[in-house]
Structure 1
Amino acid sequence: MTTHPTTVASTGLFAALPSAGRERLTILAKDVSFPAGTRIFEEGDRADRFWVIQAGSVVLDTSVPGPRPVGLEVLRPGDLLGCSWLFPPYAWHLGAEAQGDVRAQEFDATIVRALSRADPGFGEALARHVAQILGHRLQSARIRLLDLYGPPGIGRTL
């Protein structure tokens, strides 16, 4: 697998990091792809990596009674896929499925957590950025679930 630092470095995650940490993280990027319909991860499984989407889209979903998970949010190029890797117990809180063919940059969570411990400035910037994403995703999930299960007109559609 090869890396493309200029593509990765232009995303919101990398823009939020100090330059030295950004450079170290960029070196770790591995190109991966997921064909349409691929389950990238399942809710409850071990969260040991994360991705920055380069092309395509991914649906974050959650298990509810019924035959299929419910889609909560669609992630697009430049978005961070996976946040559960940063905080114990390192288990996915949601599931993820490729909507179409997806290309992404993949990062090993254990290595990135070690970088965060070794460089507190990098670690704080990374944690703050991921926390902002989590706040946004929590709000999106709340709205989506209200849309599905709340009184009519409360939420809004994906």
Structure 2
Amino acid sequence: MSPAQTIEQYLPSHPFFAGLDDEAIALVTGCAVNAHFRPGQHLFREGEPADTFFVVRSGRVAIQMRLPTQAAVLDTAREGDVVGWSWLVPPYRWTFDAVATEETSVVSIDGACLRGKCETDPALGYALLQRVVQVMSTRLHSARVRLLDLYGSRP
């Protein structure tokens, strides 16, 4: 992806948004801004209000779960990945932490803004829900594999 590429140019070609018509893309981009995170900076923390989701343009983001003694990395999001589904699922609270592990640029999409647009356009809401469920399924599978890797061989 070219760094000079605008959100309006980037999102229509992104797989997550594939198949959405121009009007739907315009609604999404109306809720989107570019953002940048430094290594170690949180995109979000477990338990906090979930009011955004992210499309990683460059960099890496660790999706992690807090444990009593440490954080367990459940998955790593890379360029092109979508991070965050809690913006669409009540009570709209993050269920994991997300931390940039290197310089990371994202498209940050305001979830409250987009939820409002989905309320007035149920077809958009359904289309986004289908895509978010796919992200959830992929992320949960990765987390399961990672947890089995971490704890599966212990007695």
TM-score by length of 1: 0.89
Partner of 1:88: 90
The alpha carbon displacement at 1:16 in A equals 4.4
Match of 2:27 in 1: 24
Paired with 1:64 and 1:107, the residues of 2 have a C-alpha distance of 28
Gaps of at least 5 residues in structure 1 are 153-158
Report the counterpart of residue 156 of structure 1 in structure 2. none
Matching of residue 57 in structure 1 with residue 60 in structure 2: yes
Work out whether residues 48 and 109 of structure 1, in 8 Å CA contact, stay in contact via their aligned partners in 2: yes
Distance 1:15 1:79 in 2: 14
One-letter code of the match for 2:65? T
Contact between 1:12 and 1:79, CA under 8 Å: does it hold in 2? Answer: no
Query: Partner of 1:118 in structure 2?
Result: 120
Provide the rounded CA distance (Å) in 2 between the counterparts of 1:18 and 1:116: 14
CA contact (8 A) 1:58 1:102 kept: yes
In 1: Cα distance, 2:7 partner to 2:122 partner = 26
The answer to whether the 8 A contact 2:60-2:79 is kept is yes
Residue identity matched to 1:55:
S
Aligned length: 150
Q: What letter is aligned with 1:115?
A: K
**TM-score under structure 2 length normalisation:** 0.90
TM-superposition CA deviations, 1:90-127 (whole Å, max 9, x none): 00011000010011111111110011111111110100
Contact map agreement 2:11 2:25 (CA 8 A) in 1: no
Q: Which amino acid aligns with 1:129?
A: R
Conserved in 2, the CA contact under 8 Å of 1:18 and 1:121?
no
1:150 corresponding residue in structure 2: 152
Q: Equivalent pairs: percent with the same residue?
A: 36
Unmatched runs of 5 consecutive residues or more in structure 2: 1-5
RMSD: 1.6
Match of 1:5 among 5, 8, 22: 8
